[in-house]
Amino acid sequence: MKIVIVGGVAAGAGAAAKARRTDETAEIVMFERGNYVSFANCGLPYYIGGVIEDRDELLLVTPEMFKSRFDVDVRLNTEVVDIDPKAKTVTAAGPDGKQYAESYDKLVLATGGKPLVLPIAGSDKAGIYNVFTVPDADRVTARLEADTRSVVVVGGGFIGLESAENLRAKGVEVTLVEKLPQVMSNMDPEFSDVLIREMESLGIRVLTGVGVEEITGADKAEGVRLDSGETIPCDLVIMAAGVRGSTELAQKAGLRIGETGGVWVDATMKTSDPDIYAAGDIVESVHLVTGKKVRVPLAGSANKQGRVAGACAAGGKLTFRGVLGTAIIKVGGLTAARTGLNTREAQQHGYDFETILVPGFSNATYYPDAMPLLLKLTVQKQTGRLLGAQGIGRKGVDKRIDVLSTAIFSGLTVFDLENLDLAYAPPFSSAKDPVITGGMIAANMVRGEMDYVSPRDIQTYLDDPAYVVLDVRTQEEWDDFHLEGAVLLPVDELRDRYGELDPAKKYVVYCAAGYRAYNACLFLRSRGYNVKNMGGGMNAYHMNV
């Protein structure tokens, strides 16, 4: 048995190790076009920023170790340029440029991705860098130490945001430009607003809804001209417009390409050719909510897929179930995370759903360092099934997203959520964790006990003469800030004073987080009033985290 693996980073390296564990007698060859195997690509922005001080920390595994421990023949700086599936050979171009054939019994394609190159004039100038490989990071680091005072980062995704923050931490002027109207386009827009606020507080200029027309400068980048007309002078440009899976080789080999443009695989990561497996950024995966194929090029999936591909190529039995698109990012002191379907995705897939905003705290508010956080749940209306979740805050967001991801993986409904048995002690949570509170709020909605209005739509109600927007907080909170056009009637005076409210009007009730408004709504409804609750209250309105 001879197993050939194309690509030696996350998926490829994992496949090689697992193939060896599955078949001790196989011959295993791993080709890698770069100079490193299994490096920590997610750490690169932090290495540039000096958060990770030791470059060696990024190099998880060496080719020598692959040889001694796994008896894997690693061939660096070698690109596989062709596959002949009938002859079962690949054509490799070695470091010296010479091409040679290598036969295989089973082939694993883990060619990964390459940074997307935008069709921008001047893209070929010097001084334009990606943050994708260790040499990329070395080049940027060298330029930072030399002459760089200002940088434009193009792209507002993971690498763009992390790079912007880390460059700023090095004392450089940073402008981030994103063509879409928001950053982190895999989250709902209000989360982007909070992230931009945080980046601005770090001294980063953020421009959204603005495209790049040209990289200006004689030979090297000296500025970025935007479609807004503005030109931002800079010493360096970071291109972080996303990653495109390197599917060329798979396509040349005639492998089936799915409707998403990714390589089609079954649950064992086998392609349409029974002797070829694929894993990582090039494949499409089953989405565990929709059942549809999607492409989610993230490290967690790549690792799991590589393990399955390596095992199955070597004759073992493992399956990869699919993805939820779970993802997380740190920006300054904030954490933003998502799993399952966001609002746009739930719409695209035609779900009848509601979103629920849940302001909460990382831990018991009476214990020190409790920090506010906001969860947003996407919930199927009839069934109460949890379709997706997003969260943002300064502490404990990663925990809640992982719990919610596990809940979605398990097909839980909001009626299940409100029954979870989560760990409570004051330093870690509240007696009702925000996930459980979210389940309760969502369950009330699905049961038809409460109607919610999004804080994003509140102006419509403020402008509508048929509606009164009722603030049930205290006078003190009202004085501090309130919605222009709202009416104050504190919840604790409502039972005595509700007669002041015109029963001919309809009411949208708000408080700080939604709980007092919930109680007020139920009371008013029992008195015959038409009421809705502004979900998440002022905390969600301001996105206070």
Range 393-412, binding its own copies (CB under 8 A) = 398-399, 401-403, 405-407, 409-412
Rounded to whole angstroms, the Cα distance separating 324 from 288 reads 6
Nearer residue to its own copies within complex by CB, 233 or 426: 426
Binding mask 503-542 for its own copies (x = CB under 8 A): -------------x-xx--xx--xx---------------
Q: How far is the CB of 42 from its own copies (least distance, A)?
A: 5
Cβ atoms within 10 Å of 39's Cβ, excluding its own: 22
Residue 480 interacting with its own copies (CB under 8 A): no
Q: What is the radius of gyration, based on Cα positions, of the chain?
A: 27
Residue 269 interacting with its own copies (CB under 8 A): no
Nearer residue to its own copies within complex by CB, 235 or 345: 345
Nearer residue to its own copies within complex by CB, 4 or 26: 26
| Catalytic residue status for 521 | no
Residue 329 interacting with its own copies (CB under 8 A): yes
**DSSP sequence for 487-510:** EE--HHHHHHHGGGS-TTSEEEEE
Identify residues 277-296 at the interface with its own copies (CB under 8 A): 288
What lies within 8 Å, CB to CB, of 267 at 6+ separation is 286, 319, 320, 321
Active site residue: 42, 312, 511, 521, which one? 42
Helix (H) / strand (E) element for 463: namely helix 458-463
229 φψ region: left (φ > 0), alpha (ψ -120 to 50), beta (else): left
Identify residues 16-45 at the interface with its own copies (CB under 8 A): 17, 20-21, 24-25, 40, 42-43
Nearer residue to its own copies within complex by CB, 174 or 417: 417
Give me the amino acid identity at 18: K
Binding mask 238-257 for its own copies (x = CB under 8 A): --------------------
Residue 73 interacting with its own copies (CB under 8 A): no
In the chain, count of helices (H) and strands (E)? 17, 30
Residue 57 interacting with its own copies (CB under 8 A): yes
Rounded to whole angstroms, the Cα distance separating 406 from 423 reads 15
Q: How far is the CB of 402 from its own copies (least distance, A)?
A: 5
Identify residues 90-149 at the interface with its own copies (CB under 8 A): none
Cα 377–381–386 angle (5° rounding)?
A: 40
Identify residues 419-438 at the interface with its own copies (CB under 8 A): 419-429, 431-433, 435-436
Residue 250 Cα distances to 174, 528, 545, angstroms: 38, 65, 45
**DSSP character at residue 264:** P
What lies within 8 Å, CB to CB, of 125 at 6+ separation is 215, 217, 219, 220, 221
Token representation of residue 434? 């925000």
Q: How far is the CB of 21 from its own copies (least distance, A)?
A: 5
**DSSP character at residue 323:** B
Strand, coil or helix: 63: helix
Residue 10 interacting with its own copies (CB under 8 A): yes
Q: How far is the CB of 15 from its own copies (least distance, A)?
A: 14
* Residue 80 bridge partners (DSSP): 92
Can you tell me which of 171, 209, 300, 315 binds its own copies, judged by CB under 8 A?
Answer: 300
| Count of residues that bind its own copies according to CB under 8 A | 91
Active centre residues (catalytic): 42
